[in-house]
Amino acid sequence: MPPKPSGKKHTSTEAPAMASSASSGLPTQSTPTPSDIANHILKVLDDIITPPNGKRASITVTHIQEVRTKVQTLAELLAAQPSTTDLMHAIQATKKEVNVKTEEILHALPRNSKGDTWASIAAAAAPKTTVPATPRPQSVEQKSAEAIRRSKDIIVKLNDPDTIKEYRDKTPITILGKVNSALATCGHSQIQTCRALAAKQLRSGDICISFASDAQAMNLRNQQSQWTAALSPKATVNRQTYGVLVHGVHTETFNLQDPETIGKIIRQNTNIHGLEISRLTWLNGAKPKKTEASVIMEITDPLMANIAIDEGIFWNAERLAVERYDPACRLRQCFKCQAYSHIGPQCHSGEKCGWCAGPHNTRSCQDTKDETKRRCSNCSGPHAAWSKSCEVRLKEVRKVQDARENRARYHHVPVFAPKQTYTQPLATQVQPQAPATSSQPATSKAAGKRVRTSSNSTASPSQQLAILMHPER
């Protein structure tokens, strides 16, 4: 017969006994952390509330006493922890001690031949030069406003060295008075009512004159013979043109030296009524050696240029792609002074060598093969002025990239209005109109005709031309 078990029988309704540290999940280390004790207490309470076998347990004084002991141990550990203030004081003291030790180490370092310590040399070192931040690119709206401003300016070429020198000593106010006097004393009644707002002499020697509207500026360009002689006997007005870039031109069939080439283009593009081309040049100057290249075409009317952008240019039974030409989208470097944003014929600065930055022509430099004498005239770096690693060149490249990404699709088109002398281009300015009332006419005058305003804010250049040619529709 088996022996009877001694002691009190353990029933299923009794609370589970408190497990040892190993069985309860507590670490076996001698000093448990507050987190370990708190987790152990939570586990015991969870087992009492919901035991593993699913039956409610009975709670004894022994169980409560053990939980209380653990809570008391946790409170003592927390009380022994340092406060946040004590920790901050300890960190500051450690930092101060590190600084003192660092100073002692630096002063103990050996000195160079001049008696300076390496610490003083490091402290006196010049800060590293950084590339200036690239200016924020202009938005399409800003470029449109800039085009409108330029359309109000007239550039007068004096074409006489003595007259150019004479104007060098004149202030803008004096030049403005001379311009307005020339306008007021001319024999043309429409020109006599025009008044310039500003005038100055450019570095090139030309005179830049600003007017209140592009309509006035356009009228004065067309009537230049009536008033420019009062400024200089040989003075002429620069004819404003609107460039487009024609891509995919076959270099063998497109002869820019032939005066008949412009006539052939006009005859093959009868869809652009009134097309007038003033100049043709290869994009990169000289005739390229490859079979296809791009051509800059200067058109005298902005609306015709915009139509060419939309419809392309026909040449030898092919339709060639066309886009608006913007000089800001090209990297231009002057090989006279080595600066950017202009080219040699426009330069009025002294010569600088592209190899050594000396005051002589690049071609006459005697140190072209001596790399130790390389010096950039733009950033003073040890390289040629056209080096692709030059910081100034990299900045200009970023400016060109930004200009390409933010350029406008069309040229600004001056439009005559009844109460103001100009409006913005139809392609960008036309807004939905309210019904016409007695105080709000629904039409506007353009080039002496009444032109209907359109509610289509995306009117194409062809639609603009149709409105101008057929205002009664």
Q: Which two tokens stand for residue 223?
A: 């009537």
Instruction: Enumerate the H helices of 233-371 as residue ranges.
Output: 260-268, 302-311
CATH number for the domain whose boundaries are 140-237: 3.30.70
CA distances from 172 to 185, 232, 237 (A): 20, 17, 19
Please name which of 222, 223, 225, 212 lies closest in space to residue 153, comparing C-alpha atoms. 212
Strand (E) or helix (H) holding 272: none
Does the CA dihedral 167-170-171-177 come out positive or negative? negative
Residue corresponding to tokens 């800001």:
328
Q: Which two tokens stand for residue 440?
A: 């709000």
Contact (CB, 8 A) for 292 and 236: no
Decide: helix, strand or coil at residue 208. strand
Contact (CB, 8 A) for 237 and 154: yes
Contact (CB, 8 A) for 427 and 456: no
Decide: helix, strand or coil at residue 458. coil
Q: In what order do the strands lie in the sheet with 198-201?
A: 198-201, 207-210, 153-157, 236-237
Strand (E) or helix (H) holding 145: helix 140-151
Same fold, 140-237 and 244-326: yes
Q: Give the pLDDT score at 280.
A: 94
Q: How far apart, in whole angstroms, are the C-alpha atoms of residue 143 and residue 424?
A: 12
Contacts of 408 (CB under 8 A, 6+ apart): 140, 143, 144, 147, 324
Contact (CB, 8 A) for 216 and 188: no
CATH number for the domain whose boundaries are 244-326: 3.30.70
Please name which of 212, 216, 224 lies closest in space to residue 156, comparing C-alpha atoms. 224
Digitized pLDDT (tens) for each residue of the chain, 473 residues in all: 444 444 444 444 444 444 444 444 444 445 677 777 777 777 777 777 766 666 666 667 777 777 778 777 777 777 777 777 877 888 888 888 888 777 777 777 666 555 555 556 555 554 544 444 555 555 666 766 777 888 899 999 999 999 999 999 999 999 999 999 999 998 888 888 999 999 999 988 899 999 998 888 988 988 888 999 999 999 999 888 899 999 999 998 999 889 899 999 999 999 999 899 999 999 887 788 889 999 999 999 999 999 999 999 999 999 999 999 988 888 989 989 999 988 887 788 899 999 999 999 999 999 888 888 899 999 999 999 999 999 999 999 999 898 888 888 898 887 643 333 333 344 433 334 444 443 343 333 333 333 333 333 456 666 666 555 555 44
Q: Give the pLDDT score at 433.
A: 41
Q: Give the pLDDT score at 99.
A: 81
What single-letter amino acid sits at 237? V
DSSP 13: T
Contact (CB, 8 A) for 272 and 307: yes
Q: Which two tokens stand for residue 165?
A: 């020198």
Please name which of 105, 190, 75, 246 lies closest in space to residue 421, comparing C-alpha atoms. 190
Ramachandran bin of 267, using left for φ above 0, alpha for ψ from -120 to 50, beta for the remaining angles: alpha
CA distances from 354 to 322, 373, 432 (A): 35, 11, 56
Domain extents for the chain?
21-80, 140-237, 244-326, 344-406, 426-469
Q: What are phi and psi of 113, to 5 degrees?
A: -65, -25
Strand (E) or helix (H) holding 240: none
Q: Give the pLDDT score at 357.
A: 92
Please name which of 362, 320, 313 lies closest in space to residue 337, comparing C-alpha atoms. 362
Distance, C-alpha 116 to centroid of its chain: 46
